[in-house]
Amino acid sequence: MILGEEFGAAGPAVIDYLEDQAKLQNDGGRVKTGPRAIARGSFVDVVTVGHVLSRSVTLGLLDEFEDRDGRFTCRVTWFAADQGKAMAANRKAKQRASTPVEPDDPSPLSRSVPESHGESRPVTECPTTGQDRTDTSATQRNTNAELRSAVRECFAYWQERCGHPQAQLTTDRRGKVETRLRERQRHHGGDLHAAILDVRRAIDGAALGAFVNDQGKRFDDIELICRNGSKLEDFMDRASLRPTAEVVPINGRRENASDLLRALDGGAA
């Protein structure tokens, strides 16, 4: 812009002020004001305002300029054209908003199926597999059923392996086993059978190497085995252990394996 080159920021500041006044006064781009008002509104000194106004008239940015005792009237030449374009754009936008849009080509992913009342509703298919939402829900239900069956299988194995035939599959036990199965299934890339084998191996570890306190109580509850991921892995590692000369309870005492053998043989050395 030429005014910017000649007057720096002062030139555009004066023109912007006049444009704002034209919008406020709403008289087709005509403005009634004075140099001092422009100076206050644009933060430009009065002398520079006078030079910018004179140059703007020369360039055709302002016309119909009339000076009346320190105040003047002028017209911002481009204002009316810009306002007309804005009004036309607003009219078109309102017209588009009020006109209903009908698709020329319905989406191939939607189809209409008849209902009992004679109307139709769209059924959206999966774009990748072609299965509808009903098929997806059925698959999810099947997955959950398989997981519940796996929980019962692991619990039954624990009852037999660790000697708890009267134990109940309580909510806390079910929740821990299911959580560990989900984790191990993800670990094996979705293989639920491999996850079951991991839990069974941890149960084997509890049967071989569970902690036994001085009163002979074994800490081998399945809720403990599956309490968290690290606990499960700890019991899985114990499955490879061999019985040692320790942790063999006899009558509430911790004895070694040799004493146990002598007791079973009737005290023979």
Using one digit for the tens of pLDDT, what is the confidence trace for 183-200? 999 999 999 999 999 999
pTM over 0.75: no
Confidence at 94, pLDDT banded by 50, 70, 90: low
Cβ atoms 154, 200 nearer than 8 A: yes
In this predicted structure, the answer to whether residue 228 has a pLDDT above a threshold of 80 is: yes
List strand residue ranges (DSSP E) for the chain, in order: 30-33, 62-68, 71-76, 110-114, 120-124, 211-212, 218-219, 248-250, 253-255
pLDDT at residue 258 greater than cutoff 60: no
What is the per-residue pLDDT across 151-166, written as a single tens digit (0 to 9) for each? 999 999 999 999 999 9
182 burial class (0-12, 13-18, 19+ CB within 10 angstroms)?
Answer: middle
pLDDT of 46 > 70? The answer is yes
Q: State how far the Cα of 191 lies from the Cα of 181, in Å rounded to an integer.
A: 10
Q: How confident is the model at residue 137, as a pLDDT?
A: 66
Give CA–CA dist 123/111, Å, rounded: 6
Which residue did the predictor score with more confidence, 101 or 49?
49
Across 30-34, 93-97, 220-224, 254-258, least confident range: 254-258
70 and 34 in contact (C-beta within 8 Å)?
A: yes
**For the segment 123-144, what is each residue's pLDDT rounded down to a tens digit?**
444 455 555 555 666 666 667 8
Read off the DSSP letter of residue 126: P
Can you list the domains of the chain with their CATH numbers?
Answer: 2-80 (1.10.10.10), 146-264 (no CATH)
Over residues 40-44, mean pLDDT: 88
Task: Give the Å distances, CA to CA, from 212 to 26, 111, 168, 236, 246.
Answer: 93, 66, 22, 18, 10
Give Cα separations from 234 to 89, 173, 196, 239 (angstroms). Answer: 72, 18, 16, 9
Q: Above 50 in pLDDT, residue 41?
A: yes
Confidence of residue 113 (pLDDT cuts 50, 70, 90): very low
Mean pLDDT of the 65-86 span: 76
* Dihedral (Cα; 96, 101, 105, 107), 10-degree rounding: 110
pLDDT at 227 over 70: yes
Burial class (CB in 10 A: 0-12, 13-18, 19+), 55: middle
| pLDDT score, position 56 | 83
Record the tokens describing residue 239, joined without a space. 């499955």
Q: Tell me which of 168 and 77 has the higher pLDDT.
A: 168
pLDDT score, position 90: 63
* pLDDT of 245: 41
Question: Residue 255 carries which side chain, given as an amino acid letter?
Answer: E
pLDDT at 177 over 70: yes
Q: How confident is the model at residue 93 (pLDDT cuts 50, 70, 90)?
A: low
CA atoms of 85 and 169, how far apart (whole Å): 76
β-bridge pairing 30-33 and 62-68: unpaired
